[in-house]
Structure 1
Amino acid sequence: MTGQGHGVPHPDGLTAECELLVAADAATVWELVTDIHLPARFSPELRHVRWLDDAAGPRLGATFEGHNENGLLGAWRTVSVVTELDAPRAFEWAVCDADGRFGPPVVDPASPMARWRFDLTPADGGTSLRHWVRLGPARSGISLAVDRAPDRAGEIVQQRLGMLRNGMASTLRGVRDLAQDADRP
């Protein structure tokens, strides 16, 4: 598994990603990564999710609610909008702060507090699965932390990117294990 993060002192535009090879076909992996409930099984931060618009599964423009919690930021709710759905290649959603926990309330996918994505690419031995996040442009928990301690911005940013990479890596390993079990005869 590879992982990387790109940090700058201001939280807007920060990215982190992880990638691994899944020894399963793309259709099997796709079914797992487009199940919005699955990441809550593996993420140290995401507690539970639910569709908000009676969707039986993902579709462009569909919305879902996520409940998160961690020791640094406490608990918060998000509303996400599916912004890309290209089976079995890419699944992306924009995460918005509908409750105004970190700044003014926003439910505009063009101005999310984060954008999350799975990319699937055929590879020898299965499917290369990449999980990616970009923070901003709307405010998020990292914005509050940097506001409170601007002299520690670099340290705060790197710590948060590390937390996000750890969560992504855990989710990818969970998807890999489920996909490989499902793909066995």
Structure 2
Amino acid sequence: MYSLEDRTVEVETRIRAVPAQVWSLASDITVPPRFSGELRGAEWIDGADGPRVGARFSGRNRNDYMGEWTTTSEVVEVDEPHAFAWHVLLPDGRRVATWRFDLRAEDGGTVLRQSMAVGPDPSPMDEIAVKRPHDADRIVTKRLTMLEEGMRATVEGIRGLAEA
């Protein structure tokens, strides 16, 4: 039977730019949609205008398997220039994923890591997998692979901007 265990995806890249420069790109919610195949746009909502704990933003998403949808996210960590993290929320308030960028100085540049953990509350992916236990592993693997591909494109895109 399918288990709702925590699933995490992470990617990282080394960037020839100082953490403060990389931070300005990683914490700008309009940058990832430029590179991600799924995230099509993001904007601050509820009067927020930048990254601060408690600020919320909406994201417009699309892929060939799931169609189009909008998410609401709430910033849960801002530690300039080291970390930027947010929860993705369902309309009922469930936290279905935590996304984050972590930055660390290394050899005159920056290591940028992006990660995503499903949960802590059940996500739509979990609900589909529970309803289709014979396909659960394939569903979860496919979804996490899709997310990893988008994350890899995002960190490489940020690298390209920072090094330009």
Contact residue 97 and residue 118 of structure 2 kept, 8 A: yes
In the TM superposition, what are the counterparts of 1:128-139 in structure 2 within 5 Å? 128-139=111-122
Q: Give the SS at the match of 1:113.
A: strand
TM value normalised by structure 1: 0.83
Pick one of 22, 27, 42 that aligns with 1:49. 42
Q: Distance in 1 between matches of 2:11 and 2:40?
A: 21
For residue 175 of structure 1, what is the aligned residue in structure 2? 158
Where structure 2 has 5 or more consecutive residues not aligned to the other structure, the ranges are none
The answer as to whether partners of 2:2 and 2:130 remain within 8 angstroms in 1 is: no
Alpha-carbon distance between aligned partners in 2 of 1:58 and 1:121, rounded to the nearest angstrom: 19
Return structure 1 stretches of 4+ with deviation > 4 angstroms.
Answer: none
Of the structure 1 ranges 170-179 and 73-82, higher mean CA displacement relative to structure 2 is found in 73-82
The Cα of 1:125 is off from its aligned counterpart by 4.1
2:99 counterpart (108, 113, 116): 116
Alpha carbons 1:11, 1:157 under 8 Å: kept: no
Verify: 1:10 aligned to 2:3, yes or no: yes
Tell me if structure 2 keeps the 8 A contact 1:10–1:153.
no
Does residue 93 of the first structure (1) align with residue 77 of the second (2)?
no
Q: After TM superposition, give the deviation of residue 68 of structure 1 in Å.
A: 1.0
- Equivalenced residues, count: 164
TM-score scaled by structure 2? 0.94
Deviations 1:108-142 (A, max 9, x none): xxx51100000001111410000000001223231
% identity of equivalent residues:
43
Alpha-carbon offset, residue 19 of structure 1: 0.6
The answer (yes or no) to whether the contact 1:66–1:79 under 8 Å persists in 2 is: yes
Residues 20 and 130, structure 1, Cα contact 8 Å, conserved in 2: yes
Distance in structure 1 (CA, Å) of the matches to 2:151 and 2:38 = 10
Q: What is the Cα deviation at residue 47 of structure 1? A: 1.1
| Equivalent residue for 1:66, pick from 56, 59, 69 | 59
Which shows bigger deviation, 148-157 or 86-95? 148-157
Inter-partner Cα distance in structure 1 for 2:128 and 2:63: 13
